[in-house]
Amino acid sequence: CSFSVEGDAIKVYVRVRPPSEGTVLTDGDQSLCLSVLSSNTIRLHSKPEPKIFTFDYVANMETTQESVFSSVAKNIVESCMNGYNGTIFAYGQTGSGKTFTMMGPSDSDNFTHSLRGVIPRSFEYLFFLIEREKEKAGSGKSFLCKCSFIEIYNEQIFDLLDSASAGLFLREHIKKGVFVDGAVEQVLSSAAEAYQVLTMGWRNRRVASTSMNRESSRSHAVFTITVESMEKNNEIVNIRSSLLNLVDLAGSERQKDTHTEGLRLKEAGNINRSLSCLGQVITALVDVGNGKQRHICYRDSKLTFLLRDSLGGNAKTCIIANVHPGSRCFGETLSTLNFAQRAKLIKNKAVVNEDMQGNV
Amino acid sequence: MAAAGGGWAAVCHKFRTARTLSAVESRKDPETEPYRSKYSARALLQEVKQLLSAAEEGGEARLLAVRRAVLEYELGVNHTDTEELSAGEEHLQRCTQLLEPHRLSPDCVSLYIQAQNNLGILWSERDEIKTAQTYLESAEALYNQYMKEDGNPPLDPSEHFMSEEEKLTDQERSKRFEKAYTHTLYYLAQVYQHLEMIEKAAQYCHTTLKRQLEYCGYYPVEWALNAATLSQYYLSKQCFMESRHCLAAASVIFSQAGQVPSAEDNETEQDQQDLRQRKAEIARCWIKYCLNLLQSAQKLLEDNIGELDPDRQLELKAQRKKEEDEKEKGRKKAVLFGTSDICDSVLAMEEKVSSVYPLDFQEAREIFLVGQNYVQEAKEFFQVDGYVTDHIEIVQDHSALFKVLAFFEEDYERRCKMHKRRIDMLEPIYADLNPQYYLLISRQLQFELADTYYEMMDLKVAIGNRLEELDSHTIKKINSLAQLAIKYYELFLDSLRNPDKVFPEELEEDVLRPAMVAKFHIARLYGKLITSDSKKQLENMQTSLEYYTFLVDYCEKYPNAVRAVETELELSKEMVGLLPTRMERLRAKLSPFI
């Protein structure tokens, strides 16, 4: 396998969307705040010095949907067939092209559209691989795919497949890991069916508009497909299961205020105004006291807890950071690139306690 | 003057409506239009501003300036609330400019401080923490200066648009003023944290908590949780007195939460569960307190092979007598929470466990027992079904409590039994755990089980050495403990293999030391296995040599690793030198005729 040699660090892809229609592009255009230098570097025209960022992959404005899918998601879907858990995050400011990248153009029938995004293509590829496996193995191998679709809003969990349900809870099972207690699970038999479930749930999401932003999603949405394979070899039954998580993070411009800050990365500044956030401040102080035994009363955010495996276990994870090249978006673009830069540092950590290192 | 009489009443009414819209109505805004009420409030404020300008002629200049400052302040906050920072900054700046000459007078000081607070927030949102710091520190200085020079309860900003009869009482004024200042301190805590002035940040968090208690501006559960969390900061700094004080206060304040009936009095099951979880969280902070205190004492008392050093013990006991009292009393005054009756309850709570290093088994046992009680309390909520990670972490703490207590135990047999207790709690959990989802914990358990068996084996060897001759029962015991230790170390090492079952060429930094220690311990364990079969013994020596060689070769290939395992490497090199000769001798004995 090709992936056994790669490290566990999270892969980060940056995609630059074209400016809105009607704007003519010329090289060195003053209205652009960045240029793509190569397939993994980007230059931000900051003052006084321009800033160069390096990522695993940078997709420029001409990059096709197909090419984004092949370089970002293909590998992860394949690993998923091999029993790994995989997660794809989309991150970026509202209007930076997140939905286009993940879902495709906002027409009704994305599933057959030539510009369809990463998610429908992942579905197609997953079911293509499953069919191929089945053919190869004959009747000895069978697959079961299920999906759930939840939304995390204000640290509460809602089921997008059952809009009548109240808040749900995260729980852990000693054999099965973290799960959302009571979330609807739908059995899937084809890519088209998966897409149908996804679009149905997508409509239930919470969005909001302000005079600054036209429409911004205020919640994180997590679409999870469980792939279970069962192989019979004589009398021995071999069951393997893995998860594929497709995560649409809330518009990055809103994160600081709603405290739904997705991945707990060290944020640069931003004062919490409410005294009731004092605990978060203290928690940050305790985090520094490394090596010592301590207990933090405040859990990780719901999102990090749910995706703990993707951020620190045996999983393949990538982040697609979407940016808008317009100079008016400079601030947000900078903060997205900074976030993406930090995300590269998250490693799938499996540290053994200091205390357990034993005496000689 | 147009703003006089009925006109003024209308202005006041508009202003009040704007404030209600902004503070109360805006919470009910639909998610699709989060700022609807804020935008209407803004429009009203603009109207008020126009009315004021129209009234400008003839009015008293100072009075007008202050009123305009209030409006600029409200508009500034409104704009920053709705993500329009530049406009917000302009308004706030205008507010402080208008107030500058009067900032120390009772009708302006509170507004000025609040404007500075908001400028601090604004600049932090632009990631300019240093600028934020200057605004907030100047707010802090102004408060102190005002309290020193005047000290009377100052006017609340909202009072500038109130009729005489509506004006606030001194008590209410003071409450609001102190609250604004508490916010200054809280924002400063964050600024210092971002600037990595951690100690100062902690001090400001502590003061914020203290002031919340003094001015009754807190929710008991939240306050208790914050205090418990702060205790963990003090733990990391080895300040056990402060840590205990925070925990005792947390427990006392938390117990108030149960007594006060909640707002609607129809507590849902969810609320009840939340409350039980918070209680368990505080218990877990106490566990860490006991554990840290014991472990720190162990560090002070151990000699170079990790055993209790009796000379050091005597020395520390003498030293403790001398200094304990004076030193702590001075520090204590600075951090004390609460007014008299809360304070008394906190002190009573503190008396239940020591905050000085235990120096012998008896003292250690008392702390251990407190810790163990909290383990039971925490486990009641964090049951394995539903809270796997938390539950296991608590069990690991319990095991660690036993481990450190064993250090203080002189009797080897009893010490061995303590380690057996650890095995009994860890092994069944490990057996059930699915490493696909709990890889990290699974590794920790493998390593801890291995280490515990290793320690038990060492104890059995020590006990055996006191006997005239090793009996077959003891030999069997030693060998089986060694085999179990090897088994768990190997499981740990296997967990590092990739999906193709290949052990990594180069180890990741975070598992480097544990992996090397595991290899080293396995090498030693093979050396300790007792057998009368010389051929078997030769095989064991061969295996042992292979593991020692791994360490030496690895460090040669990756010199960066040397740092992590210096002592182990030195001993391994020695063994790699010695073992072949010993094996040669053994071989010669085995076949004397060749």
Residue B84, chain A, CB below 8 Å: the answer is: yes
CB A330 within 8 A of CB A348: no
| Model confidence at B378: pLDDT above 50 | yes
| Model confidence at B302: pLDDT above 60 | yes
Residue A266, chain B, CB below 8 Å: the answer is: no
CA A118 to chain CA mean position, Å: 12
Spell out where A93-235 has E strands. Answer: 141-153, 156-159, 169-173, 177-181, 186-188, 207-208, 216-217, 220-233
Residue A268, chain B, CB below 8 Å: the answer is: yes
B440–A349 CB contact, under 8 Å: yes
Asked if the structure places residue B19 within a domain, the reply is no
Residue B306, chain A, CB below 8 Å: the answer is: yes
Confidence bin at B2 (pLDDT 50/70/90): very low
pLDDT at position B326 is 63
Residues with Cβ < 8 Å from B4, sequence gap 6 or more? Answer: none
Q: Judge if B404 and B532 occupy the same domain.
A: no
Q: Judge if B515 and B394 occupy the same domain.
A: no
Residue B505, chain A, CB below 8 Å: the answer is: no
Domain end among B410, B433, B465: B410
Task: Kindly report the nearest CA distance between residue A64 and chain B, in angstroms.
Answer: 33
Distance CA B416, CA B444 (A): 21
Over chain B, what is the mean pLDDT? 90
Asked if the structure places residue B157 within a domain, the reply is no
Class of residue A1 by CB neighbours under 10 A (exposed 0-12, middle 13-18, buried 19+)? exposed
Residue B225, chain A, CB below 8 Å: the answer is: yes
B83–A275 CB contact, under 8 Å: no
Residues of chain B found within 8 Å of residue A293, distances taken between Cβ atoms: 235, 288, 291-292, 295, 397, 400
Distance CA A93, CA B79 (A): 21
Residues of chain B found within 8 Å of residue A83, distances taken between Cβ atoms: 499
**DSSP character string of B492-540:** HHHHTS-TT-PPPSS--HHHHHHHHHHHHHHHHHHHH---S-HHHHHHH
Q: Provide the token pair at B409.
A: 């135990």
Task: Kindly report the nearest CA distance between residue A263 and chain B, in angstroms.
Answer: 18
CB B274: neighbour CB atoms within 10 A? Answer: 13
Distance CA B457, CA B476 (A): 11
Q: Judge if B375 and B524 occupy the same domain.
A: no
Option in B187, B229, B384 nearest A174 (CB): B384
Tell me which residues of chain B, numbers 168 to 207, contact chain A at a CB-CB cutoff of 8 Å.
Answer: 182-183, 186-187, 189-191, 193-194, 198, 201-202, 205
A212–B84 CB contact, under 8 Å: yes
pLDDT at position B57 is 62
Residues of chain A found within 8 Å of residue B83, distances taken between Cβ atoms: 210, 212, 253
Confidence bin at B453 (pLDDT 50/70/90): very high
CB B310: neighbour CB atoms within 10 A? Answer: 11
pTM given for the model: 0.85
Q: Do the bridges between strand A220-233 and strand A236-248 make them parallel or antiparallel, or are there none, so unpaired?
A: antiparallel
Task: Report which residue type is found at B304.
Answer: N
Residues of chain B found within 8 Å of residue A290, distances taken between Cβ atoms: 236
Distance CA A269, CA B148 (A): 33
| Model confidence at B327: pLDDT above 80 | no
Distance CA A97, CA A116 (A): 13
Option in A256, A295, A360 nearest B285 (CB): A295
Nearest residue to B152 via CA among B171, B166, B135, B134? B171
Residue A345, chain B, CB below 8 Å: the answer is: no
Spans of chain A, pLDDT less than 50 = 1-7, 27, 211-214, 255-268, 348-360
Task: Kindly report the nearest CA distance between residue B165 and chain A, in angstroms.
Answer: 31
Distance CA B124, CA B188 (A): 11
Option in A4, A218, A269 nearest B127 (CB): A269
pLDDT tens for A41-82 read 999 887 778 889 999 999 999 999 999 999 999 989 998 888
**Alpha-helical regions (H) of A203-352:** 255-258, 278-288, 302-306, 308-312, 330-343
Asked if the structure places residue B556 within a domain, the reply is yes
B514–A211 CB contact, under 8 Å: no
Q: Judge if B403 and B517 occupy the same domain.
A: no
For B433, which residue in chain A has the nearest alpha carbon? A174
Q: Judge if B246 and B376 occupy the same domain.
A: yes
A208–B33 CB contact, under 8 Å: yes
Distance CA A34, CA A15 (A): 12
Q: Judge if B400 and B511 occupy the same domain.
A: no
CB A161 within 8 A of CB A148: yes
Asked if the structure places residue B198 within a domain, the reply is no
Residue range B281-288: average pLDDT? 97
pLDDT at position B395 is 97
Residue range B79-91: average pLDDT? 91
Distance CA B176, CA B153 (A): 9
pLDDT at position A351 is 31
Asked if the structure places residue B552 within a domain, the reply is yes
In total, how many domains does chain B have? 2
Asked if the structure places residue B391 within a domain, the reply is yes
| Model confidence at B464: pLDDT above 50 | yes
pLDDT at position A174 is 92
State whether the Cα torsion A79-A81-A86-A92 is positive or negative: positive
Lookup result for tokens 């509170």: B110
| Model confidence at B537: pLDDT above 50 | yes
| Model confidence at B551: pLDDT above 50 | yes
Task: Kindly report the nearest CA distance between residue B563 and chain A, in angstroms.
Answer: 14
pLDDT at position A261 is 39
For A360, which residue in chain B has the nearest alpha carbon? B568
Residue A239, chain B, CB below 8 Å: the answer is: no
Asked if the structure places residue B30 within a domain, the reply is no
Distance CA A137, CA B196 (A): 58
Domain end among B381, B410, B439: B410
Asked if the structure places residue B125 within a domain, the reply is no
Domain ranges, residue B277: 237-257+273-308+337-410
pLDDT tens for B219-258 read 999 999 999 999 999 999 999 999 999 999 999 999 988 6
Q: Judge if B404 and B524 occupy the same domain.
A: no
Residues of chain A found within 8 Å of residue B502, distances taken between Cβ atoms: 4
Distance CA B162, CA B172 (A): 15
pLDDT at position A316 is 82
For A286, which residue in chain B has the nearest alpha carbon? B233
Interface test with B, best of A175, A281, A288, A351 (most B CBs within 10 A): A281
Residues of chain B found within 8 Å of residue A212, distances taken between Cβ atoms: 82-84
Residues of chain B found within 8 Å of residue A273, distances taken between Cβ atoms: 121
Q: Judge if B522 and B391 occupy the same domain.
A: no
For A350, which residue in chain B has the nearest alpha carbon? B440
Domain end among B362, B378, B410: B410
B128–A172 CB contact, under 8 Å: no
For B117, which residue in chain A has the nearest alpha carbon? A273
